[in-house]
Amino acid sequence: MGPQAVRFGILGCSSVARRRSIPALLAQPGAALAAVASRDPEKAKAIAAELGCAATGYDELLTRDDVDAVYLPLPTALHVPWGLKVLAAGKHLLLEKPSATSADGARQLVRAAADRGLVLRENFTFPHHAQHATVARLLAEGRLGQLRSFSGAFCFPPLPATDIRYDAALGGGSLLDAGVYPIRAAQLLLGDDLTVAGSSLRVDGRTGVDVAGHALLVSAAGVLADVKFGFEHTYGASYTLWGSTARLTVDRAFTPPATWQPVLRIEEQDHTEEHVLPAGDQWSAAIASFTTAVAAGHHAGHPAEAAGLRSMVRTMELVEDVMRAATRVAA
């Protein structure tokens, strides 16, 4: 922890907080952990004792003077109501993805953060891995010729029946949980001005949530994109960019472990090459980027934050369009 470290409170002792974000935060010189909050006081106490910080309830966390910023990993439907409370309390907000269950919810958060002069970041960590900047550079250099299509997927096996992702009232479903990754990757590489041309969702009759789906999108420049997502597949998290002269594939695109050395595969008519890139810790990089923005005095109205927040809202607009366009079939 550095002298000017951003002091975090954790709102909800969630699985991703404990597995990923808290370890990344504790390892970060620009960050310090002040308190963890849970609905269950005993759970908060046990975790706080393990981590050497204070234990609180949700509302109490927001009144603490030793908390500068809140990391919020609640179920998705609670992101906007609790995110607005965090911002109203004058704390910077690192919010788990997706930002909201609607575009209007995402816009409300941006407005509230801008009004209060606070940093608001959606914790998509994959864009913080340098492998995607390498892909963008190869694309800009014309390594693939003219780009014709993007194809991205994020799928994994079924979860326990009690998981928040099977609860529609908590913002469950594979589009909001997994589909947002390839959608955001398409935005990153093709631009935010994508439109939705069609979609299908496989809906589970018991829970009412979509457990798989796909969508077709098209960029303003006429590049075609398709995304697949689901909770009923073997694991896969990849994308392929297909150009007029070559095809580039990124495997482990969204959740590479910090020790994973990414391999970019470029295929042409007469040969294939593989570029092994340095490993990168996207979880630490995301926290570092957030604490740097706070330390630099940025806020949601600052020009440096504009592109990220525009993409955050655009993802939710695209999610809404995917839902509207969807042909629904029984899973």
Ligand X SMILES: NC(=O)c1ccc[n+]([C@@H]2O[C@H](COP(=O)([O-])OP(=O)(O)OC[C@H]3O[C@@H](n4cnc5c(N)ncnc54)[C@H](OP(=O)(O)O)[C@@H]3O)[C@@H](O)[C@H]2O)c1
For the chain, report the end-to-end CA distance as a whole number of angstroms.
48
Q: Which of 45, 85, 91, 97 is catalytic?
A: 97
Smaller CB distance to ligand X: residue 17 or 264?
A: 17
Smaller CB distance to ligand X: residue 75 or 230?
A: 75
| Under rule CB under 6 A, residue 315 binds ligand X | no
Stretch that binds ligand X, among 75-83, 103-111, 195-203, 232-240 (CB under 6 A): 75-83
Which residue type is seen at 8? F
Question: What residues from 28 to 47 belong to the interface with ligand X (CB under 6 A)?
Answer: 38-40, 43
| Under rule CB under 6 A, residue 9 binds ligand X | no
91 is catalytic: no
Sole binder of ligand X in the list 1, 2, 4, 15 (CB under 6 A): 15
Q: Are 83 and 101 in contact (CB under 8 A)?
A: no
- In the sheet with 210-218, reading across from the earlier edge strand, the strands are 272-276, 263-267, 247-250, 236-243, 147-155, 224-230, 210-218, 195-203, 326-330
**Regarding beta strands 326-330 and 195-203, do their DSSP bridges make them parallel or antiparallel, or are they unpaired?**
parallel
The CB-of-85 to ligand X minimum distance in angstroms stands at: 13
The CB-of-213 to ligand X minimum distance in angstroms stands at: 16
H helix or E strand, kind and range, residue 274: strand 272-276
**Regarding beta strands 263-267 and 247-250, do their DSSP bridges make them parallel or antiparallel, or are they unpaired?**
antiparallel
**What letter would DSSP give residue 331?**
-
The CB-of-24 to ligand X minimum distance in angstroms stands at: 11
Smaller CB distance to ligand X: residue 125 or 187?
A: 125
Question: What residues from 138 to 197 belong to the interface with ligand X (CB under 6 A)?
Answer: 164, 170, 177
**CA–CA distance, 46 with 276 (Å, rounded to integer):** 42
Stretch that binds ligand X, among 67-75, 106-114, 267-275, 320-328 (CB under 6 A): 67-75
Smaller CB distance to ligand X: residue 40 or 193?
A: 40
| Under rule CB under 6 A, residue 321 binds ligand X | no
**CA–CA distance, 158 with 137 (Å, rounded to integer):** 36
**CA–CA distance, 161 with 43 (Å, rounded to integer):** 22
Residues near ligand X (CB under 6 A): 12-16, 38-40, 43, 73-76, 78, 96-97, 123, 125, 164, 170, 177
Catalytic residues: 97
